[in-house]
Amino acid sequence: MSGTELTLGKAINAGLRRAMENDPKVLVMGEDVGRLGGVFRVTDGLYKDFGADRVIDTPLAESGIIGTAIGLALRGYRPVCEIQFDGFFFPAADQTFTQLAKLRARSEGRLSLPVVIRIPYGGGIGAVEHHSESPEAYFTHTAGLRVVTVATPEDAYWMIQQAIACPDPVVFLEPKRRYWDKAPVRTDGSVDTATPMGEARIVRPGTDVTLVAYGPMVKVALHAAEADTERSIEVIDLRSLSPVDYDTVYESVRRTGRLVVTHEAPVTSGLGAEIAARVTEACFYHLEAPVIRVGGFDTPYPPSRLEEYYLPDLDRVLDGVDRTFAY
């Protein structure tokens, strides 16, 4: 498979398969992940190859899924839980925020919970209510959770394996409108030779303004950088949302003097606000303009016929870039 073109969804599937082949303690569990292969078919074929003991179709009870995973992790397993859609996570919030995130600190490091929670998130697929949320700020605000998101098939292949190998609980956010994006994936080597899970990546160098994005917005940011023929835009794929690789962001901003942060989630209290505050503190004397945030509106996610007006697009990102040069 080295260099094979895969969709992002198939790359996650291949990464899960490799992790399960390498470690019999890795389990996949969730609603319809077995015989059906998941609603997005990300776990397709795993049930046939690994059986019902390792690919477990659970009841429709998200709290039970995470609670069971906590017990399995305490017994030495590495469960990978699938939440079908972002808006379905909240019944599991109590188990995640009050138990999963806190047990390592509560036990003074004696206990660890290597649980991965896979969550398809974000809009752009014309779905109904509760199927297009961007809840990353809830997770990044919770100490004890690692939060990552992927934007490319190659990252998807390697980062799901890194998340499974991590001793801490990891929330693995999958941009559902990118599941079908296809690109070459390098599958030789090991997780130790891949880009570390916690590092941001400069995906397009530039000199005039830094544009930080993650997950589904990385593709939009790259299109914006290509469309702006007047300015040289440096695009950073954040990759890890908690912890954030601020060193890479700071270094870029100190070179460009300007920063735009974009995400699908509402702007108010979003991750972009934290990044803006940190950059303002660390790079104050390098900034030529205030940090600009471009995100969703402060409304509940709209019906599918209106989502194209809600989601940040190329024009709104370019408007954010323009605003940094208005000062």
Question: 131 an active-site residue?
Answer: yes
- Tokens for 283, please give them: 């790079």
Report the distance separating Cα 274 and Cα 137, nearest Å: 10
Question: How far is residue 269 CA from its own chain's centroid?
Answer: 18
Six-digit token pair at 190? Answer: 């090991």
Distances, alpha carbon 323 to alpha carbons 106, 226, 315, in Å: 46, 18, 12
* Among 130, 131, 223, 286, the one annotated catalytic: 131
Q: Give whole-number Cα distances, 233 to 215, 221, 223, 267, 321, in Å.
A: 18, 9, 11, 21, 9
CA dist., res. 141 & res. 161, Å (int): 24
Write out the DSSP string of 212-248: EE-TTHHHHHHHHHHH-SSS-EEEEE--EEES--HHH
Q: Which long-range contacts (CB under 8 A, 24 or more apart) does 138-143 make?
A: 138/93, 139/171, 139/241, 139/242, 140/241, 140/242, 140/271, 140/274, 142/96, 142/97, 142/101, 143/101, 143/105
What residues contact residue 171 under an 8 Å CB cut-off, 6+ apart?
117, 119, 139, 145, 146, 147, 148
Q: Which residues are catalytic?
A: 131
